[in-house]
Amino acid sequence: MSQRQSGHHVKMEEVNVKMTRHVVLACGLVGMLSVGSAQAVTVSISCSALGIEYELCRSGAQAWSEKTGNDFKIVSTPNSASERLALYQQILAAGAGDIDVYQIDVVWPGTLASHFVDLSEYAGDAVNEHFEGITHNNTINGRLVAMPWFTDAGLLYYRKDLLEKYDAPVPSTWQEMAETAARIQKAERDAGNGRMWGYVFQGRSYEGLTCNALEWVASYDGGMIVEADGTVSINNPQAAAALSEVASWIGSITPAGVHNYAEEESRGVFQAGQAVFMRNWPYAWALSQDSDSPILDKVGVSALPSGPNGRPAATLGGQQLAVSRYSPHVDEAVDLVMFLTSYEEQKRRAIEGSFNPTIAALYQDDELLAANPFAADLYQVFINAVGRPSITGALYNRASTSFYNAVHDILRGRTPAERRLASLQVELNRMSRGGNW
Residues at the interface with ligand GLC (CB under 6 A): 81, 105-107, 152, 207-208, 211, 263, 281, 317-319
Contact 339, 59 (CB under 8 A): no
- Residue whose CB is less far from ligand GLC, 199 or 281: 281
Distance in angstroms (rounded) separating the CA atoms of residues 325 and 416: 46
> Nearest approach, Cβ of 403 to ligand GLC (angstroms)?
13
74 DSSP β-pair partners: 45
* Element holding 373 (H helix, E strand): helix 373-377
- Residue whose CB is less far from ligand GLC, 53 or 409: 53
- Of the candidates 345, 44, 389, the residue with the CA atom closest to the CA atom of residue 230: 389
- Residue whose CB is less far from ligand GLC, 280 or 327: 280
Alpha-carbon distance values, 112 to 90, 97, 117, 386 (Å): 11, 15, 11, 21
Q: What are phi and psi of 200, to 5 degrees?
A: -125, 150
> Nearest approach, Cβ of 15 to ligand GLC (angstroms)?
15
> Nearest approach, Cβ of 82 to ligand GLC (angstroms)?
8
Please report the beta strands in 2-62, taking only residues with DSSP state E, as ranges in sequence order.
42-47
CA angle 233, 236, 237 (to 5 degrees): 160
76 DSSP β-pair partners: 47
> Nearest approach, Cβ of 124 to ligand GLC (angstroms)?
26
DSSP state letter for 299: E
Q: What is the arrangement of strands in the sheet containing 155-159, beginning at the earlier edge strand?
A: 197-200, 275-280, 155-159, 299-302
> Nearest approach, Cβ of 209 to ligand GLC (angstroms)?
8
> Nearest approach, Cβ of 318 to ligand GLC (angstroms)?
5
> Nearest approach, Cβ of 7 to ligand GLC (angstroms)?
23
Alpha-carbon distance values, 342 to 219, 261, 339, 362, 374 (Å): 34, 33, 5, 11, 22
- Residue whose CB is less far from ligand GLC, 208 or 305: 208
Dihedral (CA of 376, 321, 114, 88) sign: positive
- Residue whose CB is less far from ligand GLC, 134 or 338: 134
> Nearest approach, Cβ of 68 to ligand GLC (angstroms)?
28
Distance in angstroms (rounded) separating the CA atoms of residues 437 and 429: 9
- Residue whose CB is less far from ligand GLC, 58 or 84: 84
What DSSP line would sit under 400-432, residue for residue? HHHHHHHHHHHHTTSS-HHHHHHHHHHHHHHHT
- Residue whose CB is less far from ligand GLC, 144 or 262: 262
> Nearest approach, Cβ of 150 to ligand GLC (angstroms)?
8
- Residue whose CB is less far from ligand GLC, 81 or 224: 81
> Nearest approach, Cβ of 411 to ligand GLC (angstroms)?
16
Q: What are phi and psi of 136, to 5 degrees?
A: -65, -45
Q: Which residue is nearest to ligand GLC (CB)?
A: 317
Distance in angstroms (rounded) separating the CA atoms of residues 391 and 111: 12
What's the longest Cα–Cα distance across the chain?
Answer: 65
- Residue whose CB is less far from ligand GLC, 106 or 421: 106
How many angstroms separate the first and last alpha carbons of the chain? 27
- Residue whose CB is less far from ligand GLC, 243 or 385: 385
Contact 318, 149 (CB under 8 A): yes
- Residue whose CB is less far from ligand GLC, 122 or 281: 281
> Nearest approach, Cβ of 143 to ligand GLC (angstroms)?
21
